[in-house]
Structure 1
Amino acid sequence: MNVKEYFVGLNNNIAEIIETSFESKNGNDLSDMFQFVDELSIWESILNKTTDTTLLISAIKEFELGFQAVLSGQYRYAFIAQRYFIEQITRFIYLSTNELHLRHWKLGIRDVSWGSLIDNENGVFSKVFIRAFFQGIEDEGGNFISLSSKMYRESSEFVHGNFDKINILPEKIAFQGDMLERWLEYMETGKLIAMFLLFMRFSKDLDASDLAKLEAMASDELCGIDGFECLFQ
């Protein structure tokens, strides 16, 4: 086998899958979802003035890699990136509150497990955590723990190669509409979680000019949650 010819052929196949993905019934949803990169980048440009955004940048990159994978028909890797995205965005929020833990994490002497991130008592969705940064929406935490846990669990099954997940993946790199739709569904949940966390953690500390850049995001993602509307009144 000529290795170069094999990968040139594979690249041509992937180009066809990308085209098919955008021509599918989910084509508009894909275009809309990719705007999430711009939204997260706006957050990063605002927060990097006062906050270490290393983990936020990592989350953005992981979302882009997952998007590339799902467009290319590499669905297992798209779900792996999806899990990593939700871990990184949640870890970013958690470590943004503790400079010592952040420095230890950077030095490789502290690990921050998923369990600690979503812990009922002290995690980022706990009442005590939410109350410290955005009083009045504490009761939403339980719902977001459930959403995050489900997304993490479902994505992890692709990471671990569970039989029922392997069994629904195409044997070769190929377009599979139901897998594209599932990834988009999961990512919509991930987007909601990310926006909740970012607004909950940082919005009360932002000035009016920065908040104005974020108003449309809050309207799109968080309009059903009582409390956030006060930010723009």
Structure 2
Amino acid sequence: MEHIVQATRSNEAEINRVLHLEADLAVWLEVLSTHPESQQLRSAHRDFGLAFYAAMSGLYRQAFSSLRSFLEVTVGAIYLSAHEFKRRQWVSGILDISWSSITSKDEGLYSSPFLKEFCPEAMDEKDVVLDDLRQAYRRCSEYIHGKVSTSQLLPTDISYREDITNEWLSTAEKTLTTTLHCLMVRYYKDLPQSGKSTIEGSLEDHFSHLISVRRLLQLPLEVRPS
């Protein structure tokens, strides 16, 4: 409890940003509640809750592990929602999906063929978002697999470490932000108007700086002087 109090008191602004993103993710999950992959998305959402609790409690390795699980399952479910046969094999345990296939530049979620069919507006930002996905996954993995540089940072007991807490919050913010972008890329254009209306405020709040979102939401584009 002392750790939780110290962690939350020292990082209020960062925690608020993460919880704001998490609340917007919950709205997306409600909009997608009738989709076949919603069960996997809800399960991953619970993993994020465990990750957040672990980070605030000083269980840092477990916090990064659960955060990576959230990222893998969420982005994997989003990707496989476009491949129903493979999605069913994944759910039944026949198929294992690799992170490299999800993030493949040739066939993955941010490959040109995928974006061309689901969200061509995001084509120009695909490399940036894909890099953010890979960075978040890599950093979580370094804590999970005991890389020397990260293992030396971890305390041997449950004690507050501001640097690790800040890094988890930063990684969680990047993870949630890119996850919301993945949801937009895959689902937005296929949502009924009621669903679009529900999540448009979130998209504008987090991504109004992106030309793709401004086009999708029919917001005015910046006019640069010639």
What TM-score comes out, normalization by structure 1 length? 0.89
1:196 aligns with 2:177: no
For residue 210 of structure 2, give the secondary structure of its aligned residue in structure 1: coil
Equivalent of 1:46 in 6, 11, 31:
31
Task: Determine if contact 2:121/2:215 at 8 Å carries over to the other structure.
Answer: no
Match of 1:138 in 2: 123
Match of 1:20 in 2: 6
Task: Determine if contact 2:68/2:137 at 8 Å carries over to the other structure.
Answer: yes
Structural mapping, 1:166-185, within 5 Å? 166-185=151-170
Shift of 1:231: 3.1
Match of 1:85 in 2: 70
Task: Determine if contact 1:117/1:123 at 8 Å carries over to the other structure.
Answer: yes
Shift of 1:143: 1.5
Q: Distance in 1 between matches of 2:163 and 2:70?
A: 21
Residue ranges of structure 2 left out of the alignment (5+ in a row): 219-226
Which 4+ runs in 1 deviate beyond 4 A? none
Residue ranges of structure 1 left out of the alignment (5+ in a row): 1-14
Match of 1:150 in 2: 135
Task: Determine if contact 1:126/1:142 at 8 Å carries over to the other structure.
Answer: no
Match of 1:223 in 2: 208
Q: Distance in 1 between matches of 2:133 and 2:72?
A: 9
For residue 136 of structure 1, give the secondary structure of its aligned residue in structure 2: helix
Task: Determine if contact 1:39/1:217 at 8 Å carries over to the other structure.
Answer: yes
1:118 aligns with 2:107: no
- Choose between structure 1 and 2 for higher RCO, CA contacts under 8 A separated by at least 6 residues: 2
- Which structure: larger Rg? 1
Distance 1:62 1:210, change over 3 A: same
How far does the alpha carbon of each residue in 1:91-145 deviate from its partner, in whole angstroms, 9 at most, with x for none? 0111111111111111211110011000010000111111111122212111122
Match of 1:10 in 2: none
Q: Which amino acid aligns with 1:32?
A: R
Query: Superposition RMSD on alpha carbons, in Å?
Result: 1.4
What TM-score comes out, normalization by structure 2 length? 0.91
